[in-house]
Amino acid sequence: MSKFLLVLTTVFLSLTAFAQDGEKLFNANCKSCHAPTDKRVVGPGLAGVEGRWKDRALLYKWIKNNKEVLASGDSYANELYNTYNKSVMTIFPALTDKDIDGILKYVAEYKAPPDATPVATEAVGAGNTDSTFSTYTLVGLGLLFLMLMFVLINVRKTLAKVDATQTGETLPTEFEGTLGQKVSNWISHNKKVVAVGSLVIIGYLSVLGWNTLSGIGIYEGYQPDQPIKFSHKLHAGKNAVSCIYCHGSAERGKAAGVPSANVCMNCHKYIQEGPVYGKVEIAKIYAALDYNPDKQTYGNNPKPIKWIKVHNLPDHVYFNHAQHVVVGKVECQKCHGPVQEMDTIRQYSQLTMGWCINCHRETKVSMEGNGYYKELHDKLAVKYKGQNLTVSKIGGLECSKCHY
């Protein structure tokens, strides 16, 4: 009786499985290599797969154990295998014919969801166009005003002349003499204008001089165009990829590191089209790797991507990312600013010595949860009782910490 019940349940279960589990089975077993559309993922897109295999029994056999079919010398199977870079399909001996029917049914009935509203397109990649606005516009406006002034003065002169000839008045005689005499005459008659004018010039030059001198060697605001229009706003902001995923060496060494292109390929093997620039920018990664996205093969002629370095410390300063990120537990954004909102990366901080020192003076050292230095930490707690234990108190201001 129990045996009968068991058989009954099994039959029942397998019947229901046919109807509802096609999608589930597809997602579990097929999705990471096949799309239900005609898009190639790792293997071919499955739309119309039933039509491509002349023998349905062979298709079952292929899905369950493709190696047997390949070994049997079936021409279509071997052609497939060679077209798709001889990448081997996993064998699925656990799938029953019913399961496969369910999967095929799901694929046949699959309709791509309507293109989701391209939310990403709004501001990503659109910034940074008005950066040179101020300088050029101001110069242009200045020239325009000068011309306007010149024209107005001439109009006024002519009007005065016309007025004088009509009323019969005599115009004040123009000053005769050399150019130098003319200039000094004009100056002596317009002392206030000259005074204010000189003030403007002196003021401008002082401000300009001050700004230039205090900006020497400071890259703050540096935002060069990069060879690939990579957007941190899209990757780190919208898609919320951790900084460390690409800049892992920030936790392991001195430099935060530029990810090698194989890290890009972890996602861009699949994502071949971006929301803003389409295929153009992503194709640059493929070009750098000499990768053929259609055949999914790599060539022998990779070329490095010439990223432009933004953050640069002078040669005589030692800075270590791992020290700050792992030990100090400093957030990336503390020094690099809201990178997740930047399309093109921009130097956010001054990276001057004063800036470093300020942070060392303000940042408190956490002494919890580090048993290795317990003895030292206890001593420090006694020594600086009642004071904030900042980085500066444990040698963060010593010259040789950074300069050696």
Under a CB-based contact definition with an 8 Å cutoff, are residues 307 and 226 in contact? yes
Q: Which of residues 116-135 bind another protein (CB under 8 A)?
A: 116-119, 128, 131-132, 134-135
User: Is residue 215 helix, strand or coil?
Assistant: coil
Q: What are phi and psi of 187, to 5 degrees?
A: -60, -45
270 makes contact with another protein (CB under 8 A): yes
316 makes contact with another protein (CB under 8 A): yes
- Pure H helices in 247-292: 261-268, 280-289
Place of tokens 């071997």: 78
Give the number of other Cβ atoms within 10 Å of residue 316's Cβ.
8
155 makes contact with another protein (CB under 8 A): no
29 makes contact with another protein (CB under 8 A): yes
Task: Specify the stretch interacting with another protein by CB under 8 A; choose among 29-37, 55-63, 171-179, 285-293.
Answer: 29-37
Residue 241 CB, shortest distance to another protein, in Å, is: 5
Token digits of residue 351 = 């990276």
Query: Binder to another protein among 58, 108, 263, 287 (CB under 8 A)?
Result: 263
262 makes contact with another protein (CB under 8 A): yes
248 makes contact with another protein (CB under 8 A): yes
Nearer CB in complex with another protein: 254/364? 254
Nearer CB in complex with another protein: 75/212? 212
Distance CA 238, CA 223 (A): 21
Query: Binder to another protein among 6, 11, 28, 381 (CB under 8 A)?
Result: 28
86 makes contact with another protein (CB under 8 A): no
Distance CA 61, CA 68 (A): 8
277 makes contact with another protein (CB under 8 A): no
Residue 105 CB, shortest distance to another protein, in Å, is: 18
Residue 172 CB, shortest distance to another protein, in Å, is: 19
User: Is residue 364 helix, strand or coil?
Assistant: strand
Place of tokens 């129990």: 2
User: Is residue 298 helix, strand or coil?
Assistant: strand
Q: Which of residues 88-107 bind another protein (CB under 8 A)?
A: 88, 90-91
Place of tokens 């292109």: 261
Under a CB-based contact definition with an 8 Å cutoff, are residues 272 and 266 in contact? no
Under a CB-based contact definition with an 8 Å cutoff, are residues 17 and 24 in contact? no
Task: Specify the stretch interacting with another protein by CB under 8 A; choose among 160-168, 171-179, 244-252, 355-363.
Answer: 244-252
Q: Which of residues 175-194 bind another protein (CB under 8 A)?
A: 192-193
C-alpha separations of 211 from 14, 204, 205, 217, 379 in Å? 78, 11, 10, 12, 46
Query: Binder to another protein among 10, 185, 312, 323 (CB under 8 A)?
Result: 312
196 makes contact with another protein (CB under 8 A): yes
Residue 278 CB, shortest distance to another protein, in Å, is: 12
